[in-house]
């Protein structure tokens, strides 16, 4: 892939500005990612320009959703910090770049692979991030914990499962009136149609899809924007494994 734009210009295009300390934080994160990747499987992408575009820029591109007039009022205009959970965060995408670029947000990173959680805790302490936690567990299990259930303004998730499965992983964490934004790519029409039933059962509906080409590349990204309209019934999520083997 040809990258025809520098990172700062690409960030400008998505309306994200980073100060020097945020740029340093991303640099440290990049160094740790490459170092730890030598001993554990974190990412197939290691070349610096690629990591900056395919992981950092892509993670931050969700900002374009909130800049869209249609969705500008999505998040609560309050003095309390917005709470975001990243389900199946892996090596920290999109949660860590979002935390670095938008430090006032409270972030929970969740993944079922403990090795990745160890890496994330190292990133959190070395980069010096606050108001962020990395938790080890399956999405289906943590959603039953009272401190986590229906307590987030926003849930994000990239490259974890199909939308019907993801909806069951993610929506139990979202407050009524909050949102789940799924990072998707390619042709998503069928996936959206198939997920309509699951969303309804879980008390949510798709309110829009925001598509963009990552600046300086030909990479297409789609954000599926889902609103939680009502409480999720306690029977969801079902037992661990069922959301993926038998999607709603």
Ligand X SMILES: C[S@@+](CC[C@H](N)C(=O)[O-])C[C@H]1O[C@@H](n2cnc3c(N)ncnc32)[C@H](O)[C@@H]1O
> Contact residues for ligand X (CB under 6 A)?
88-91, 93, 110-113, 116, 138-140, 158-160, 169
List C-alpha distances in Å: 33 to 38, 47, 127, 128: 9, 11, 12, 15
Comparing CB distances to ligand X, the nearer of 63 and 138 is 138
Comparing CB distances to ligand X, the nearer of 14 and 229 is 14
Contact present, 39 and 84 (Cβ < 8 Å): no
Binding residue ranges for S-adenosyl-L-methionine: 88, 93, 139-140, 158
Q: In the bound complex, what is the minimum distance in angstroms from residue 55's beta carbon to ligand X?
A: 7
For the chain, the helix, strand and coil percentages under 3-state DSSP, each to the nearest 5 = 40, 20, 40
Q: What is the distance of C-alpha 34 from the center of its chain?
A: 21
Nearest residue to ligand X on Cβ basis: 90
Q: In the bound complex, what is the minimum distance in angstroms from residue 87's beta carbon to ligand X?
A: 6
DSSP 86-127: EET-TTTTTHHHHHHHSTTSEEEEEES-HHHHHHHHHHHHHH
Strand order in the sheet with 174-184: 132-136, 106-111, 83-87, 152-158, 174-184, 220-228, 204-213
Contact present, 171 and 228 (Cβ < 8 Å): yes
Q: In the bound complex, what is the minimum distance in angstroms from residue 152's beta carbon to ligand X?
A: 15
Q: In the bound complex, what is the minimum distance in angstroms from residue 129's beta carbon to ligand X?
A: 17
Cis peptide before 94 (omega within 30 of 0): yes
Comparing CB distances to ligand X, the nearer of 110 and 171 is 110
Three-class DSSP category at 178: strand
Comparing CB distances to ligand X, the nearer of 158 and 210 is 158
Q: In the bound complex, what is the minimum distance in angstroms from residue 181's beta carbon to ligand X?
A: 13
CA distance 140 to 248: 14
Comparing CB distances to ligand X, the nearer of 7 and 119 is 119
Comparing CB distances to ligand X, the nearer of 112 and 194 is 112
Q: In the bound complex, what is the minimum distance in angstroms from residue 244's beta carbon to ligand X?
A: 7
Binding residue ranges: 88, 93, 139-140, 158
């Amino acid at each position: 892939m040809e990258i025809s734009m520098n990172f700062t210009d690409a960030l400008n295009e998505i309306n994200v500005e980073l100060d020097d300390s945020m740029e340093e934080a991303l640099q440290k994160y990049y160094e740790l990612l490459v170092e730890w990747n030598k001993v554990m499987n974190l990412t197939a992408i290691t070349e610096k320009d690629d990591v900056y575009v395919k992981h950092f820029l892509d993670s931050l591109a969700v900002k374009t959703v909130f800049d869209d007039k249609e969705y500008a009022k999505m998040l609560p205009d309050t003095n309390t910090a917005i709470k975001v959970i990243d389900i199946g965060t892996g090596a920290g995408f999109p949660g860590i770049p979002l935390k670095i670029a938008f430090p006032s947000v409270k972030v929970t990173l969740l993944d079922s692979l403990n090795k990745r959680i160890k890496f994330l805790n190292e990133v959190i302490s070395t980069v010096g991030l606050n108001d962020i936690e990395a938790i080890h567990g399956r999405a289906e299990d943590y959603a039953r914990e009272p401190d986590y259930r229906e307590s987030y303004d926003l849930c994000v998730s990239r490259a974890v499962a199909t939308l019907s499965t993801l909806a069951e992983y993610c929506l139990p964490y979202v407050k009524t009136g909050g949102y789940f934004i799924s990072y998707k790519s390619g042709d998503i029409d069928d996936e959206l149609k198939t997920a309509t039933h699951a969303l309804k059962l879980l008390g949510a509906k798709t309110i829009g899809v925001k598509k963009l080409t990552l600046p300086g590349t030909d990479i297409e990204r789609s954000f599926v924007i889902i609103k939680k309209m009502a409480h999720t019934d306690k029977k969801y999520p079902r037992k661990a494994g069922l959301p993926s083997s038998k999607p709603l």
